[in-house]
Amino acid sequence: MQRQVRRPSTTRTLCVAFVFCAGFVGGKVGAEPYIPFHDDVVLEKLPTPGKEALRTLQKLRAQLNKDRENLRLALSLARRYMDLGRAEADPRYYGYAEAALRPWWDLDEPPVEVLVLRAGLHQSRHDFDTALEDLARVLKAQPDHAQALLTRAFVLQVKGRNGEALQSCRRLPKNLHPLITATCVGRVMSLTGQAAQGQDRLKQSIAAEANDDRLRLWALTNLGEIAARIGDNEEAERRFRAALDLGRRDVYLLGAYADLLLEQDRVEEARALLDGETRIDALLLRLAIAEDRLGRDTANEYRAMLEARFDASNRRGSTLHQREEARFHLEVLRQPESALRLAEANWAVQKEPQDTALVLQAALAAGAPERAGPVLKWVTETGLEDVSIRALIRQLDKG
Amino acid sequence: MIRAVFFALLILSPVTAEAHKPSDSTLSLSIENGAIQGRWDIALRDLDYAIGLDGDGDGAITWGELRARHDVVAAYALARLVLRADERACPAKATNHLVEERSDGTYSVMQFTADCMGAFEDLELRYSLFFDLDAQHRGLLQVDWNGATSASILSPSRPSWSTQDGDDSAWRQAAVYAQEGVWHIWIGFDHVLFLISLLLPAVLRRADGGGWQPQKPRGALSEVVKVVTAFTVAHSITLGLASAGWLDLPARLIEPAIAASIVLAALNNIFPLVTRGIWLVAFGFGLVHGVGFAGALSDLGLPAKGLLLSLFSFNAGVELGQLAIVAVFLPLALWAARTPFYLPVALRFGSFAIAAVASVWFVERAFSLSWPVS
């Protein structure tokens, strides 16, 4: 009789001990260096940009190594690396691109094409002002350089200088694909109180032009975002779905669609959309928000992963992730004070609608509506149309 | 045109937060008695890009593949790290290879030693890992030297680090020593009591008839300034001499002497021997207290590098702590000196109490006794 009473207690003790040990070992693996127990243990999966692309890259790299001063080769390799950096959302490739351009990088008068790429690389590191300087030099030499004009429009738009961005879009040469110009113009117009016109222009253009998938994806994503901003969630979803149906993986599209779902409290769908997307910080963040709202245990794991990544980034002295970090503090850690600090610092650099909304949300959550002041003034001046920002302003007015 | 269109699109696509952070390695050096122990964490992805680790080309790096390339990894990396101690080269040798999992992938962990052939004063480091391949690569350096830590981010535009860099870590170190200085004077009751014994009569002056009467604020202030300055100058001198090793008095003499100085200073308030030039007393005994400060500082451990700065900061901290005490004491005493209680209660009884406490300290310290209560 006595033994029967004791037995479950022994089992429980063993279970507890096991969990403790497992936790200890599991925790240790991440934090301490170790020697793997077997030669077949896989330590790292390398990114595979596709066999064909990889072979081309290796060939170009080998050629360039033999001929470091070959500008044509260097430009071609750098473009491919930047292409990969964007597709894989992996900044290492931007570093490789910069290294390929090294012989021209610090010249007083680099070739125009180097300047264009250099501007793109500065932009990728959020060094927007230096990017604009490089672009100004390009456009002085070649006033209708399409890529320089587009990059300039984009950088200005991120910085919230939408009037100048629109000018840049309108200066795009006529022989450029009309959908590019329409997307550029439409996107920027939608941020300056002319959402309807911007949307119309883009809709007409996308109906007429249908050839290139990459271009369509970009235009559809923009149409989705514009619709979401003016509160037409059905139209937004239709466009995002059409973009997804093109079958090209696109990190930005996934993030934008996930945000639309989260905004409508369709948390389960957002989670399903981003299932397994833990490699990319921006998507992991949205996944963590969804899991957190669903009250799942995985939320803790994702929170720890994100904290480790922001830590690693901050140790390097990088502020590239401030937008995500602010949102992480606000929605996952629920620390509105630090979220507001980060959101303000981010807003000093980037002024896209989500950056603007973040400051307002954090100011509300932190009970510091007065700190939303500069942002509110800016919103009024630019005439930004965005239903979620409008709702936040109403809340701020009430408080 | 199509190529341009493709590329323009890439550029225009909004920036998304990255899957991985840009490439960096972590390099930690710990230096003790002229021996350098190093640990260098390098991402497997970066090593693969530089020297190829994926032997079978299946897109996955196994421990076996890495193990087979350990010699190459060590040779490649260590050739890109130059260590020089006092202008002598310090060749480095890998001693062990491990791996570590991090938030952005697996890192190779290489432990190594560098031999600088003997002790050295200055260390210079030059880092060039991956700079030719990835212009955004950074080396995150941490150096531990005799308890002091210095950190630095190495980049193609700032690839070197040296102990002579006078980077902000020196200032952080200075701040630490200043804090310790403040702390030492605040918790070092002996110094506080000595100072108060000297300051208690400063708000009074001798009346013509031989008694005491309240001093005017200006007179009191000038008296306080004289006393505090004399004390400061004196203990700075001996603190400096003792820390530099030119003055070496055993603590078993100094500690009782400090206690004795308090007894004498307090008793002088009750049975005045010295009435003019209290500042001379402050100076004389300040010399003794300075040696005591040096003892406290050596307990903290002075870094080999930036000794002067640390010494100066510690002393500045002591002064700041002292000034804070004076700033509280002086207004209170000035106010109290106008009341009839000051003379009997504060000056006479206060000094008596201080003398009593200090006598106990003296006995304790002189005869290495310890009262069961204290």
CATH code of the domain covering residue A227: 1.25.40
Long-range CB contact pairs, B75-82, < 8 A, 24+: B76/B47, B76/B50, B76/B51, B77/B40, B77/B42, B77/B110, B77/B129, B78/B112, B80/B127, B80/B128, B80/B129, B80/B130, B81/B27, B81/B40, B81/B125, B81/B126, B81/B127, B81/B128, B81/B129, B82/B125, B82/B126
What pLDDT is recorded for position A11? 44
Strands (DSSP E) contained in chain B are: 24-32, 35-43, 60-62, 81-85, 88-89, 92-102, 105-115, 123-127, 138-145, 148-154, 160-162, 204-206, 212-214
- Tell me how far apart the alpha carbons of residues A120 and A114 are, in angstroms, rounded to a whole number: 10
A26 touches chain B (CB under 8 A): no
What pLDDT is recorded for position B11? 43
Instruction: Evaluate if residue A380 carries a pLDDT over 80.
Output: yes
A38 within a domain of the structure (yes/no): no
A349 within a domain of the structure (yes/no): yes
What pLDDT is recorded for position B305? 58
Q: Chain B partners of A43 at a C-beta cutoff of 8 Å?
A: 44, 61-63, 66, 99, 106
Summary mean pLDDT of chain A: 87
Name the phi and psi angles at B14, rounded to 5: -60, 150
What pLDDT is recorded for position B236? 87
- Tell me how far apart the alpha carbons of residues B79 and B97 are, in angstroms, rounded to a whole number: 17
Name the phi and psi angles at B145, rounded to 5: -130, 115
Q: Which of A360-364, A365-369, B362-366 has the lowest mean pLDDT?
A: B362-366
Q: Which of B21, B25, B54, B62 to mutate to test the interface with A (most CBs of A within 10 A)?
A: B21
Q: Which domain does A231 fall in, by range?
A: 177-248
- Tell me how far apart the alpha carbons of residues B328 and B312 are, in angstroms, rounded to a whole number: 24
Overall number of domains in chain A: 2
Q: Quick one: DSSP state of residue B13?
A: S
A-B C-beta contacts closer than 8 Å: 194
Strand partners, B32: B35
Pairing of strands B24-32, B138-145: parallel
Out of A223, A248, A273, a domain closes at A248
Strand partners, B143: B29, B150
A380 within a domain of the structure (yes/no): yes
What pLDDT is recorded for position B208? 67
What pLDDT is recorded for position A7? 40
Where are the domains positioned within chain B? 21-165, 171-367
Strand partners, B84: B89, B124
Token output for A324: 């995500």
Residues with Cβ within 8 Å of B339's Cβ and at least 6 positions away in sequence, in order, are none
Q: Which residue has the tokens 């897109």?
A: B59
* HSE-CB of A3 using CA atoms within 13 angstroms: 0
Classify residue B48 by burial, with Cβ atoms within 10 Å: 0-12, 13-18, 19+.
Answer: middle
A282 touches chain B (CB under 8 A): yes
Instruction: Evaluate if residue A24 carries a pLDDT over 60.
Output: no
A355 within a domain of the structure (yes/no): yes
Percentage above 70 pLDDT, chain A = 91
Please tell me whether residue B152 adopts helix, strand or coil conformation. Answer: strand
What pLDDT is recorded for position B46? 92
**pTM above 0.80?**
no
Q: Chain B partners of A105 at a C-beta cutoff of 8 Å?
A: 135
A residues 250-269 closer than 8 Å to B (CB): 251-252, 255
ipTM, two decimals, is: 0.72
| pLDDT higher at B9 or A66 | A66
What pLDDT is recorded for position A2? 38
* HSE-CB of A254 using CA atoms within 13 angstroms: 25
> Which secondary-structure segment (H or E) carries A45?
strand A42-45
CA Rg value for chain A? 24
What pLDDT is recorded for position A5? 36
What pLDDT is recorded for position B302? 60
CA Rg value for chain B? 31
Out of A248, A278, A295, a domain closes at A248
Contact B99 A316 (CB under 8 A): no
Q: What is the mean pLDDT of residues A43-64?
A: 82
Q: Quick one: DSSP state of residue A203?
A: H
Instruction: With both helix axes pointing from N to C terminus, report the angle between A128-141 and A112-124 in degrees, rounded to the nearest 10.
Output: 160
Q: Which of A149-153, A246-250, A373-377, B200-204 has the lowest mean pLDDT?
A: B200-204
What pLDDT is recorded for position B177? 75
Give the pLDDT band (50/70/90) at residue A26: very low
Q: Chain A partners of B103 at a C-beta cutoff of 8 Å?
A: 305, 308-309, 311-312
Q: What is the mean pLDDT of residues A8-27?
A: 39
- Tell me how far apart the alpha carbons of residues B325 and B184 are, in angstroms, rounded to a whole number: 13
Contact A99, B135 (CB under 8 A): yes
Looking at chain A, which residue has its C-alpha nearest residue B39?
A33
A231 within a domain of the structure (yes/no): yes
What pLDDT is recorded for position B117? 84
A105 touches chain B (CB under 8 A): yes
Strand partners, B124: B84, B162
Q: Which residue has the tokens 């606000």?
A: A330
Contact B19 A280 (CB under 8 A): yes
In terms of Cα–Cα distance, which of B69, B78, B163, B85 is closest to B112? Answer: B78
Token output for B281: 């007393």
Please tell me whether residue B116 adopts helix, strand or coil conformation. Answer: coil
What pLDDT is recorded for position B267? 87
What pLDDT is recorded for position B227? 86
Give the pLDDT band (50/70/90) at residue A213: confident
Out of A248, A272, A303, a domain closes at A248
Give the pLDDT band (50/70/90) at residue A20: very low
Token output for A95: 């570093």
Give the pLDDT band (50/70/90) at residue A272: very high
Please list the rounded mean pLDDT of every run of 10 residues in chain B (374 residues). Answer: 43 44 88 87 92 85 93 93 90 94 88 89 91 90 81 87 67 74 76 84 73 77 85 87 78 83 86 79 88 73 64 83 86 83 82 87 73 42
- Residue A151 has its nearest CB partner, among B12, B131, B132, at B12
Residues with Cβ within 8 Å of B360's Cβ and at least 6 positions away in sequence, in order, are B371, B374
Give the pLDDT band (50/70/90) at residue A332: very high
